[in-house]
């Protein structure tokens, strides 16, 4: 009884902090809600039908999956080599680590604004650099077309996710005892083999955490896309969270927006649970 | 682009902390005499320029000096975040007493019973002081809810050097002139006509041409009418200019601010925008030679006029004090100084009679266009219509849809929300 009493305050707090907004979202999602949050009546699943029949929602849903897989995948693929390099003993390692971690200290919306200017067609440093190197003759309108705008946004998503992921991987690497590499070398293992058969499996739990946390973050990451293209042109860069924002705050429809956020919650929850189960089966 | 995120953290004032501290100690603040009991009126204002905040602070100070029993608290919010802030504030019951809003949002406020009708507060003289057409958009079902605090109309700015070289020293008069001039400017390697297709008012930029060909955005039953032959003609005109390279490349990458910046730098021949660009050019590009002419004519003459309104919230507990502050804000000196700072058109007759306007030739062009001006209609679903039209325009500029197909789709989409 006493243990329950002792954790009661934090339990109540947790239920309050998580439970109340959850209750509100569910209530909004089944109601006809005015722009200013006044409930005009119960509508059942009408809000869910509204969004499910909106082609912009369906396209945004698919794009969100592409966005999440591309950004998380790219981040993991790039963070492992970066962490491996930073784990080596070399002169200036401390400085190199600081440089890799620095972008982390900038708020995402600020970073997105900086990148937006970097990709500006007329004054941006990307076009200026490419012109200087003679790679392009005319300015590229990076953000004007979906074919370039969305990949650019994915690239920025990867760049801003690297510091966090590298930190986790570095933590994992530092827990790998150095002796086993020595033993492997004596047994004739090549560096590539010891990476594949020793480093990678030992990093498993750390990569798991990195993937799950990144999926949760990236899936609902708002600033990059909103700052650079606001989901446009012609809705071609919307992901669910920017679509939700536009729905709620531009078009004034909190009801359907709440439905979108519930769908997002279910997806993130499902993806995380599935992934955890798969890894648990692997025994890692 | 003014996409700065301003966090409006409401810090408790020293006095509020004092109240908390005293309450915690079981003390009460010494009561002042009731006559000196200060009332606080909170006002949310939108950020028009760097001068907006200081202007309202200054007015608040002057007002407080004349009315020591009323304190005015100003919070400045950026346009792109204003509606979102009001929405969350109102949902939480934490809204200010009065606020500046886009007049086209007013209907939602009135529907939900959030805005206070001002007729009971206003006397005839105060109401008559406004310029009629600017007050009208703030009136719904015969009641006045919004007072016009900012007004603007649109006209075409042209770069004198570029247009003179292209054979139109006095600026273009018709869309044919625009095309002819832009063709010559293109031959010289410049960008002729600025076409915006990103950010707010993408739809309005298209309505200029739509109206000038005699088209309407909505019909008399408030249903979509922009997919008419006039609408298709207008969009085909823009698209053909884009295809011929007469505009800047990639309009879906350009907001109104981007085009204004290009114009200020002398890199753009023509752009349609609001009077506040005059002030920006005077400050940032004083050597630029430019002229202003009406929006080009197709078959008829038209422009767009827009107002921002001040509304009082129904849940305000200090309505008489708030109204007193409004009276002060709409007095002649306060209005003239506001317009001088921001470059908007006068909304009261007294301000319009000031030399600031009567002797400013460039601003006068905008004033002269007002008889032909269209306002955004007061109808639910206007934001959805704007969004549907914007999507349609972007798809046409990107080359994924024809003008006719895109506009028909947009009209069907808009009709789902219009008037509901």
DSSP β-ladder status, B373-374 and B139-140: unpaired
Q: Are B257 and B1 in contact (CB under 8 A)?
A: yes
B-chain CB neighbours of A230 within 8 Å are: 198-199
Mean pLDDT of chain B: 89
For the segment A36-63, the average pLDDT, to the nearest whole number, is 93
In the prediction, which pLDDT does A281 show?
66
Q: Which ipTM did the prediction report? A: 0.86
Residue of chain B nearest A230, judged by CA positions: B199
Euclidean distance between CA atoms A158 and A152, whole angstroms = 10
Euclidean distance between CA atoms B276 and B285, whole angstroms = 14
Contact call for B87 and A34, based on CB within 8 A: no
Q: Is the pLDDT of residue A139 over 50?
A: yes
Which of A275, A149, A259, A166 lies closest to A215, judged by CA?
A275
Q: Which residues pair with B174 in a beta bridge?
A: B297
In the prediction, which pLDDT does B401 show?
95
Contact call for B252 and A227, based on CB within 8 A: no
Q: Determine the distance in angstroms separating the CA of A248 from the nearest CA of chain B, rounded to an integer.
A: 9
To the nearest whole percent, how much of chain B has pLDDT over 70? Answer: 91
Residue of chain B nearest A55, judged by CA positions: B413
Selecting from A34, A116, A141 the residue whose C-beta is nearest the C-beta of B249 gives A141
Measure CA A145 to chain center: 23
B-chain CB neighbours of A250 within 8 Å are: 83, 383, 387
Burial class (CB in 10 A: 0-12, 13-18, 19+), B67: middle
B223-235 pLDDT, tens digit per residue, is 999 999 999 999 9
Q: Is the pLDDT of residue A156 over 90?
A: yes
For the segment B4-15, the average pLDDT, to the nearest whole number, is 39
Contact call for A36 and B3, based on CB within 8 A: no
Euclidean distance between CA atoms B179 and B175, whole angstroms = 6
Q: Are B91 and B293 in contact (CB under 8 A)?
A: no
Q: Is the pLDDT of residue B8 over 80?
A: no
Contact call for A249 and B84, based on CB within 8 A: yes
If residue B14 lies in a helix (H) or strand (E), which one and from where to where? helix B14-24
pTM over 0.80: yes
A238-270 pLDDT, tens digit per residue, is 999 999 999 998 898 999 999 999 999 999 999
In the prediction, which pLDDT does B142 show?
92
Contact call for A113 and B109, based on CB within 8 A: no
Q: For B283, how many CA atoms within 13 A lie in the half-sphere containing its CB?
A: 13
B368 phi and psi, to 5 degrees?
-70, -20
Contact call for A252 and B253, based on CB within 8 A: no
């Amino acid at each position: 009884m006493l243990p329950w009493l002792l954790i009661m305050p934090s339990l109540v707090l947790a239920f309050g902090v998580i439970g109340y907004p959850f209750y509100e979202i569910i209530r909004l999602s089944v109601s006809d809600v005015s722009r200013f949050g006044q409930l005009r009546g119960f509508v059942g699943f009408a809000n869910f039908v509204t969004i499910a029949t909106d082609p912009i929602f369906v396209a945004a849903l698919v794009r969100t999956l592409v966005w999440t897989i591309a950004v998380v995948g790219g981040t993991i693929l790039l963070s492992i080599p970066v962490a491996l390099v930073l784990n080596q003993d070399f002169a200036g390692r401390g400085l190199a680590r600081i440089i890799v971690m620095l972008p982390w200290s900038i708020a995402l919306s600020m970073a997105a604004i900086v990148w937006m200017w970097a990709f500006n067609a007329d004054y941006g440093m990307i076009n200026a650099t490419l012109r200087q190197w003679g790679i392009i003759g005319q300015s590229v309108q990076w953000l004007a077309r979906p074919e370039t705008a969305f990949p650019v946004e994915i690239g920025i998503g990867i760049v801003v996710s690297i510091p966090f992921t590298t930190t986790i991987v570095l933590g994992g690497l530092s827990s790998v005892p150095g002796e086993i590499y020595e033993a492997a070398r004596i047994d004739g293992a090549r560096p590539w083999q010891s990476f594949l058969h020793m480093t990678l499996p030992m990093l498993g739990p750390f990569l798991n955490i990195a993937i799950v946390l990144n999926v949760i973050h990236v899936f609902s990451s708002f600033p990059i896309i909103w700052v650079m293209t606001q989901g446009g042109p012609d809705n071609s860069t919307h992901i669910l969270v920017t679509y939700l924002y536009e729905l709620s705050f531009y078009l004034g429809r909190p009801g359907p927006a709440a439905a979108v956020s519930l769908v997002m919650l279910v997806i993130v929850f499902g993806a995380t649970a599935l992934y955890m189960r798969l890894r648990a089966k692997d025994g890692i | 682009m003014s996409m700065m995120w301003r966090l409006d953290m409401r810090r408790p004032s020293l006095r509020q902390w004092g109240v908390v501290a005293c309450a915690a100690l079981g003390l009460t603040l010494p009561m002042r005499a009731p006559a000196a009991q200060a009332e606080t009126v909170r006002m949310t204002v939108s950020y028009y320029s760097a001068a907006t905040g200081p202007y309202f602070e200054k007015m608040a100070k002057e007002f407080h000096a004349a009315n020591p029993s009323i304190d005015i608290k100003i919070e400045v919010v950026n346009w792109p975040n204003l509606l979102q802030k009001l929405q969350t504030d109102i949902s939480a019951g934490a809204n200010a007493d009065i606020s500046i809003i886009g007049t086209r949002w007013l209907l939602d406020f009135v529907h939900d019973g959030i805005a206070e009708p001002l007729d009971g507060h206003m006397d005839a003289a105060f109401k008559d002081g406004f310029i009629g057409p600017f007050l009208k958009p703030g009136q719904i079902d015969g009641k006045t809810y919004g007072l016009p605090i900012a007004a603007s109309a649109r006209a075409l700015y042209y770069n004198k050097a570029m247009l003179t070289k292209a054979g139109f020293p006095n600026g273009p008069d018709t869309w044919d002139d625009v095309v002819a001039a832009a063709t010559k400017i293109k031959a010289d390697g410049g960008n002729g006509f600025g076409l915006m297709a990103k950010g707010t008012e993408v739809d309005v930029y298209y309505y200029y041409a739509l109206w000038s060909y005699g088209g309407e955005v909505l019909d008399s039953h408030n249903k979509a009418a922009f997919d008419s032959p006039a609408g298709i003609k207008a969009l085909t005109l823009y698209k053909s200019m884009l295809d011929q390279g007469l505009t800047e490349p990639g309009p879906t990458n350009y907001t109104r601010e981007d085009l204004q910046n290009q114009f200020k730098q002398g890199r753009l021949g023509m752009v349609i925008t609001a009077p506040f660009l005059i002030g920006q050019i005077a400050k940032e590009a004083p050597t630029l030679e430019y002229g202003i002419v009406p929006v080009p004519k197709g078959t008829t003459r038209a422009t767009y006029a827009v107002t921002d309104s001040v509304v009082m919230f129904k849940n305000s507990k200090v309505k008489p004090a708030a109204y007193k502050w409004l009276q002060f804000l709409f007095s002649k000196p306060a209005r003239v100084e506001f317009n001088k700072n921001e470059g908007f058109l006068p909304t009261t007759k007294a301000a319009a009679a000031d030399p600031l306007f009567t002797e400013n030739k460039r601003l006068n062009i905008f004033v002269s266009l007002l008889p032909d001006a269209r306002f955004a209609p007061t109808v639910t679903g206007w934001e959805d219509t704007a969004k549907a039209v914007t999507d349609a325009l972007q798809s046409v500029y990107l080359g994924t849809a024809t003008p006719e197909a895109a506009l028909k789709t947009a009209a069907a989409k808009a009709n789902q929300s219009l008037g509901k």
